[in-house]
Amino acid sequence: MRKRILVLGSMALLPAVLAAQFGGIVSDPIQEGHSAEQLVNDIQKINQLIRTYNQITATYDQIAYAATYLRQKNAWLGIATRMVNSNTLGGFGETAGWNNAANMGVNIPGAYANATYAMTPPPFYSNWPIGNSIQSAIMASVRILDGANPAALMSVANARMNQPQNDLALSHLEAQTQDATAQTNSEVDQLNLANGGIVLLNRQLQTLNSLSAAQTEGQLVANKVQRDVLADAINFNGQVDSATANQATAWGGSANTITTW
Residue spans per domain, the chain: 86-118, 127-181+191-243
Query: pLDDT class for 107, splitting at 50, 70, 90?
Result: very high
Mean local confidence (pLDDT), 148-154: 90
- pLDDT of 3 reads 44
| Concatenated DSSP letters of 187-232 | HHHHHHHHHHHHHHHHHHHHHHHHHHHHHHHHHHHHHHHHHHHHHH
**Average pLDDT across the chain, whole number:** 76
- pTM as predicted: 0.59
- pLDDT of 69 reads 60
Query: pLDDT class for 72, splitting at 50, 70, 90?
Result: low
Tell me how far CA of residue 194 lies from CA of 14, 68, 176, 177, 186, in angstroms.
89, 17, 11, 9, 12
